[in-house]
Chain A
Amino acid sequence: MLVIHRSVVLATALLLGMSVIDAAFAQKQGGILKMYHRDSPASASIHEEATYSTNIPFMGVFNNLVMYKQDVAQNSLESIVPDLATSWSWNADHTKLTFKLRDGVKWHDGKPFTANDVKCTFDMLMGKSSAKFRKNPRKNWYENVTDVAVNGDFEATFSLKRPQPALLALLASGYTPVYPCHVSPAEMRTHPIGTGPFKFVEFKANESIKLTRNPDYWKKGRPFLDGIEFTIIPNRSTAILAFISGKFDMTFPTEVSIPLLKDVKSQAPQAVCKVVPTNVSTNLIVNRDSPPFDNPDLRMAMAMTLDRKAFVDILFEGQADIGGTMLPPPQGVWGLPPEILKTIPGYGPDVKKNRDEARKLMQKAGYGPNKRLKVKVSTRNIPVYRDPAVILIDQLKEIYIDGELDVVETANWFSKVARKDYAIGLNLTGNAVDDPDQAFYENYACGSERNYTKYCNRDLEKLFDQQSMEPDMDKRKKLVWEIDKKLQEDVARPIIFHIHAGTCWQPYVKGVTVMVNSSYNGYRYEDVWLDK
């Protein structure tokens, strides 16, 4: 009996040992990952675009100084790891951030990577170099950076106007690759050269994007894939059918809507699907300077009539989040906790009570059942904007506001909003990084280009800076909650809901991690492999 027992123990130990070894060496090398792409990106230059249509296919071509760990779903300051940098350090007053850089890294054209490439990249982003991007959408991310200096070939130092611990969060984004000094911005738009795990092969507009394995990648053993091929299929029905038929290994990330997800699950039950927040919020924008919306009571009434749950139930079958400016927990790192959220006007669960109060405010402003306010509700002419705008119009009727849908073609949407040629609008705001430094300054700082409602609160701006400089994460979180609560109470840009969307892949695709609090940072694909 004892002998048998020992044998069993030995066999079990052996099996366990084998499984551990197997797990460690399980990844298979080879194969082309085939995905469809939702549209043809304007260019291949990540720095010049503001859409993940560019990030997703081209992030694997590049490296950053630092990046969000690709197998950790929640981006945070804790999940940032070195990439082209081997380490980083702050000076005593947190105004200088020094990166030690990796030696022996080569660009895809064989030239060596040095600290000069880091300086060139950030000088261009800050608008300080003679070489210019055609457009530079994230220039304001580096407003606190005064200079990038190099010390030899493998050290670069960022000098800041004031401490900003979260600069690392911006540098870790998929939006912040290091570009080569020796390749012009124009060439980077059509034939990007990087140091990343995949080399660019070709980009045929409206047709396909092809990447191939970089055999000289500095991270030994990576990538597992021989390449990635994106077939551009703008028609969503065709794309989903093609995935169901097995033509593609993976859908375009976060492009499967909740209703489409049902189709996928019923027709391809073997598919692995993940539904996560995209860190894109749908919000109400109100022209605060245009009468009668210069009356704060009217703006508050509109915020209080919102039945956020109805939006979420109708559009997402319950699968979306209600929150403030920052993405709500648990996926969001900085979002308002439910106990604070429900204390904000309009967020209470009793919609009838909220609307009674909203109607009183409208009556105070001179409106009522016999004197209704007629207004145009402007929005962009694409379904993700249009559908919630229709629900918004329906909900505004509850407080004597008769909205008329004013759909604006994409080409004219931003210019219309920027010149404040609207009364009420329904807008979407995407955050590339789940960090208050990106969200607050970009969308709520006085004079910011993307502050569409021109909300301006100088006192609150001081708090923006205070939270940005705060090195203690717990203290910073408290400040962020205070700011977010104030933004909602001031009806700066009432957040209606935070969108969720799905990504699906075939079961033999392994090593995929879908980021849960950003749609812009998880597409390096160096850990993805095919088990077939």
Chain B
Amino acid sequence: MTAYLVRRFLLMLLTLAGISVIVFVLLRIVPGNIVDILFDAAGFVDPADKARLEAELGLDKSILVQYASWIGGLLRGDLGFSYVSEKPALAEILPRIPITARLAGLALVFSILIGVPLGVISAVKQNTGLDYALRVLSLSGLSMPAFWLGLLILMAFVAAFGSIPIYSDAPKSFWDSLVMYSVPAAAVGFRSSALIMRLTRSSMLEVLRQDFIRTARSKGASENSINYHHALRNAMLPVVTVIGIEAAFLIGGLIVTETVFNIPGVARFLVEAIRWRDYPIVQNLVMFIAVIVVVINFLVDLLYAALDPRIKYSD
């Protein structure tokens, strides 16, 4: 087990190193840098000013030197300065993390709380009217783009209540926070819940046909015990894998949702930073997201063993 953990940890470091190179190179391949964009907005280029600004930001140095400088800083905990706001990158990124974490967490909770029970119900009530209705619901969740659903929700709120659930000030209490994040979390979690619902259903249907379920039933176990204790636990393995992947994919969905609901989180900030070619922000944010994704995947692997005792991690 220890050797497995060490191997996985080293693999994580290697993955992160690879991502750092890819992000760094990709950003430099995209045409234009912050200086081009700043001057584009002004509609002119003063070559002397441009050269001075590029030197000031270190963009005149070779790619290798720039990469070494970034990684060196990262290892020392120095993330550099945002090219746009001229504030430390860490100070720009840190306040946005809890916002996105709350939204993503709530969306994930929403998708699990809706997706798993409805998936079980759909499987248990296979080919009934309820099953058909839940399948339509899950299909619509998969087919509706998040931005469209978000806008529909906003329009419905304005029409029904005359108010709009968008972010304008930081919530002051836990309750405020819950109210503010729940609507966008539902919008972004709907797609994930649909996916989890479908997967839970198909996985449950497969497990419900297994011999041990028949044995449990013949031993007189209640239907609830069979469905939720015996079947669901065994059906959860692929569902947990998907939940892990979805947690990572949520970031993608959040870009749109944060934009529509005007939430100043990490995802929207990342898009803005890419637009400005704000390298220190983009590089560090992508690395931060990469770390989250890699760690989630690692935890999911560990969860397999907890869910299925037959799984052993060999040394």
Contacts and interface: CB of A to CB of B under 8 A. Distances in A.
Interface of A: 40, 42-43, 49-51, 132, 134-137, 139, 186, 189-190, 204-208, 231-235, 237-238, 241-242, 244-247, 267, 409-415, 418, 449-450
25 contacts: A42-B38, A49-B42, A50-B43, A132-B52, A135-B38, A136-B49, A137-B42, A137-B44, A190-B85, A205-B84, A235-B259, A235-B260, A237-B260, A238-B261, A241-B158, A244-B158, A245-B164, A247-B163, A247-B166, A409-B31, A410-B275, A411-B40, A414-B44, A415-B45, A450-B43
B87 A50 contact: no
Nearest to A233: B262
B315 interface: no
A427 B69 CA distance: 39
Contact of B37 (A204, A246, A411, A418): A411
Nearest to A244: B158
Interface stretch (B213-221, B242-250, B264-272): B264-272
A37 B194 CA distance: 35
Given A135-B49, A247-B164, A414 B40 contact: yes
B277 interface: yes
Contact of B264 (A207, A237, A246, A247): A207
A383 to B, nearest CB: 16
A205 B32 contact: no
Given A241-B164, A418-B45, A135 B53 contact: yes
Contacts of A136: 46, 49
B143 interface: no
Contact of A135 (B46, B151, B164): B46
A168 to B, nearest CB: 24
Contacts of A207: 264
B155 interface: yes
Contacts of B36: 411-412, 414-415
B152 to A, nearest CB: 11
Residue of A42, A132, A206 ringed by the most chain B CB atoms within 10 A: A206
B41 A51 contact: yes
B86 interface: yes
Contacts of A241: 154-155, 158, 164
Contacts of B309: none
Contacts of B162: 245-246
B264 A204 contact: yes
Contact of B86 (A50, A186, A411, A413): A186
Given A135-B38, A246-B162, A449 B154 contact: no
Contacts of B269: 206
Given A136-B46, A241-B158, A412-B40, 11 more contacts: A206-B268, A235-B262, A238-B166, A241-B154, A241-B155, A245-B163, A247-B164, A409-B32, A412-B36, A414-B40, A449-B46
Given A409-B32, A412-B32, A42 B41 contact: yes
A233 B87 CA distance: 22
A32 to B, nearest CB: 12
A238 B260 contact: yes
A187 to B, nearest CB: 10
For the complex of A and B, list the 9 residue pairs with the smallest distance between their C-beta atoms, beginning with the closest. A411-B32, A137-B42, A449-B44, A50-B42, A207-B264, A414-B40, A245-B164, A245-B158, A411-B37
A310 B58 CA distance: 49
A50 B41 contact: yes
A54 B263 CA distance: 22
A190 B87 contact: yes
B92 interface: yes
A418 to B, nearest CB: 6
A134 B168 contact: no
Contacts of B39: 135, 414
Contacts of A40: 272
B42 A231 contact: no
A207 B166 CA distance: 12
Interface in B147-199: 151, 154-155, 157-158, 162-164, 166, 168
A42 B43 CA distance: 14
Nearest to B56: A134
Nearest to A190: B86
A449 B84 CA distance: 24
A413 B151 CA distance: 31
